[in-house]
Chains A and B, each alone.
Chain A
Amino acid sequence: EVQLLESGGGLVQPGGSLKLSCAASGFTFSDYAMSWVRQAPGKGLEWVSNIKTNGVSTYYGDSVKGRFTISRDNSKNTLYLQMNSLRAEDTAVYYCAKRGVWEAFDSWGQGTLVTVSS
């Protein structure tokens, strides 16, 4: 059974940094691209970032480009999201998601809440 477990969320001041982790199990992590998707309180889903299997090819949404960095450690079956220069509008539940054979997000973690506030 695929399991994705996010951690690292919390309260951070505007301008601060936070690093999220997503521990994967139940599948061959190194074979699949991975993503982060976020959801602000009471709002819809917003794609944040993708990383391919090799860890070299990465993609970002416009709202986070230049501030967030996605990475992965295939030896540890773990996905990361380094978030810098955080803003109030980054407040959201952050989900990691596995990209399946057909490229859609076929498995999701339970999410971790990031709150940016002074």
Chain B
Amino acid sequence: DIQMTQSPSTLSASVGDRVTITCRASQSISSWLAWYQQKPGKAPKFLIYKASSLESGVPSRFSGSGSGTEFTLTISSLQPDDFATYYCQQYSSYPYTFGQGTKLEIK
């Protein structure tokens, strides 16, 4: 199985900050990586597919990069609505696997 490891597990930041979350795969997944945002008690929201393609309607302050085994999600200028938990997910091969999540907190 492909293991997905996110870092950090928790990130404290302020409105207006630029933040980056890293996701590493235990083997190459090419660009078959997605990012999701989840708020407490809510379903995940789809943000990015194929590592760097922004889903329609997602603010342009979100961006993704990477290929192979190392990926990043960057939020260029944090907004109050962005404080949430973020998950990466590989869909290169079964079983599909998620990272453990990164909780983005208000500093």
Chain A positions near chain B (C-beta within 8 angstroms): 35, 37, 44-47, 50, 59-62, 95, 100, 102-111
Contacts and interface: CB of A to CB of B under 8 A. Distances in A.
Would you call the interface of chain B mostly helix, strand, loop, or mixed? loop
Given A44-B100, A105-B36, A105-B89, A95 B43 contact: yes
A102 B98 contact: no
Which of A35, A44, A62 has the most CB atoms of chain B within a 10 A radius of its CB? A44
Given A62-B95, A105-B34, A105-B44, A45 B49 contact: no
Interface residues of B, number: 24
Contacts, number: 60
B73 to A, nearest CB: 14
Q: Name the residue in B55, B96, B99 with the highest tally of chain A Cβ atoms < 10 Å from its Cβ.
A: B96
Contacts of A95: 43-44
B34 to A, nearest CB: 4
Interface of B: 1, 32, 34, 36, 38, 43-46, 49-50, 53, 55, 87, 89, 91, 94-101
